[in-house]
Structure 1
Amino acid sequence: MPSASRTTLGLALSLALLGGAMSPPVLAQGGETVRLSERWDEKRATALLERAVKHVEAKGEAALADFSRQGEFIDRDLYVYAMAMDGRFLASGGSSAALIGQNVAERTDAAGKPFFRELLDKAAAQGGGRVEYRWLNPVQNREEPKVTLFRKVGDTVVAVGFYAPRATAAQAQAMLEQAVAALALDANAALADFQKIGGNYTQDDLYVFVVDMKDGRFLAHGATPALVGRNGHELRDPKGKAIITDMINVASRKGAGEIDYAWRNPTTSKVESKHTYFRAVDGKLVGVGYYIR
């Protein structure tokens, strides 16, 4: 391995360790963040889904009963569930067994998202995919972000979901788009909304921050409102990186960008590796980032 690569890897490992637990490190390659190891929960979910799909392909409708039993289609906290393409819930090895027999096509998650409809539409159009939503975690007894992987087999959709309390890159990008649109519509109202506890712009470890690009002062910060009015040019991450200055410099030249650094995760209170997307909007730097496992 070239010395430069070893140095980058060493830094990535150090940043991961700052979070207080060994997390999959990342390397910056070609402007993209590449994980050196797969997320373990998603890897397990993918493997369980593959087994379930093969089971349905081999046994047809008779296979569905096996998903509702304790056995080979239960992997600790992971389980298989199945739906008909018309929205009827057919089988489940977990708490969603209470839905068996019901039509869930229009059921929404805790945030009002019709995720089952999204799942069915994607299954019809693409044959499979993934859907993200919020659902009650019976172990933690609270609503958390969840990801479900699914495949269409005949007229049946086979699925496996896992809880992902850390926001994803896609969720961070989506929130950034919403924040930019809100600022364009009414800047003052948007800045206030970005700091509302429990609002649309503060979800788990996901939040919006806004900085005046002219003087570097924070105009909003969803996780730490006390930063409002503070000069962002003075901020450094634990490695001494001038993160706000770097973002403003890039945004001034290119209008948008992304950056890796270490920052406190508001849900764990630990310093962790973070990847932030940002954009320049009417002289303001708007950013949303997600914490990397």
Structure 2
Amino acid sequence: MLSAGPMLIIPLMVVLISFIVINAESEKMESSLSHMEQNNIDLVKSTILSRVNSIVDLAEYRKSVIKSDLHNRIQQRVEDAHKIATALHQRYGSIKPEEEVRSLIIEALRPLTWNEGESFIWILDFDGVFQLAPEYLTSLEGTSILDFKDATGREVIKEEIALTRSGGQGFLWDTFTRPNTGTDEQFEQLAFVKSLGFYNWYMGSAEFLDIAMKQTDKSLLAEINQLSMAGKHYFFIMNKQGTLLLNSARPEWVGLSYQDSDDVAIRELYQKIVSAVNSRQSNAFIEYQWLNPNTGEVEVKYSYVKSVPNSEWIIGSGFYPEDIVRALQPQIIESTKLNQQKLDQLLKIAFWSFIASILIAILLSWAVYCLLWRSRNEVDDKNRALRELNSQLERKVLKRTEALTEMNDELEVLARTDCLTGVDNRFSFMKIVEAEERRCKRFKDTFSLILLDVDNFKQINDQYGHDVGDLVLIGLAKITKEYLREVDTLCRFGGEEFIIVLPKTDLETACKTAERLCLEMAQHPFPQVEKVTISLGVGSYQPDLTIDELIKKVDVALYQAKRSGKNKVCCADE
């Protein structure tokens, strides 16, 4: 008769092994479900972090070029007015009385105003006598304002005269009240003045920095809101004083002051945001309790915030992790169901193994080993199935990562593409031409630029409407691209001006290309417009020229083409 001791050893071992296996499988299943939720939350965090950083980079760039754009804009106004005045003087100076020519120049420039009349063209002589004043100061025309001072006490008229006498032209900053604000608040403005070279006159124009900054902010907020509406995750923007500037998810909150709110939760959130942007920890999310509009319940929310360098803006985006969990519920329920089925199977196996071990332990101890071997194979099958589930999850994560990459590519295209014509914009042009300059310096090669401008474009807009004018610009871009090589790049330079970068192209070849393009454009029929012509200026890179000097060179050539009758090509001298 067999001893009870050896008979019980095998069943007890079966019980112990079954317990270990079932417990290990249960922990693996729970860990798998936990990882599924955390992986999805981490993916959303990565998406939000990337999108916020991209928007911060975009805002930083737009704000960084405000002053340079302001310099260029004001100088261009004065240069255009100077061309008009010079052309009138050259045409009528020898055939009409001087007073009549003076009056003709003044009246030709008087309508040139911007920003609802806050920016304009003025003319003074070197004795400080107002020749052309803005509408609200016309009573001062013919009067000397030589001793006029700005809000800081500077004698700005004398500074302007000294600047134009010594260098012919230049910029200066001054401080004035804005005429349309109705307050005595002082604002900083940039002025550009230039000597006319006749009548002892100089002219100038100015614009308040405050206006330029507000216009840039307004345009940028609209663009970011459009990007937010087009994506899955929203953006919010506030300044460092706590005023909400943009929230595409809750637009009714725009203008709300978080810092001064009566709601304690809102004030505490503001303090967390300020603390996060001032912290040295990068890519960190803040956690707080907030009302979930999808459920109407207060839930945990994660938000990533980042300040725009050299700006008062704070940009952020957030999400509710419970939303992720709820979205995964069908998948979690299905996985839990499968896991429970596996556990039930393991429990059944363990039970029958225990019964079988008692029955056969007396006669055949080896049967226990066979049963355990079979059980282990079944466990391996379950593990393989679980690994397959994990592989599916990894493939989904990879797919969503690829979607994030595509989204980032779309943001990059928006930053460098002109929205009307679809060609590269001025920012993209500067990157291309700087790279081309580096290539030419390295390989001692050359490249050329063609600057083209639609002739009489203002008349087209006035006669046919801006929608037809836009169609002309679109058609021009399409025709031009058809005439270019694959290595050439067409960019919209501003308004009706386009610029072409021709790598490995000397001046002669570039001029021939410009001539063919000019002829084709004059012969091309445009819907609703009788005829469209263009004027072109061509220049080639030289090692002793900077990019700005090369652009100025082709701009002068374009101006010569305009002056000599338009619908022409003028090539800059080497």
TM-score, normalisation: structure 2: 0.25
Which structure has the highest strand share of the two?
Answer: 1
Which structure has the highest helix share of the two?
Answer: 2
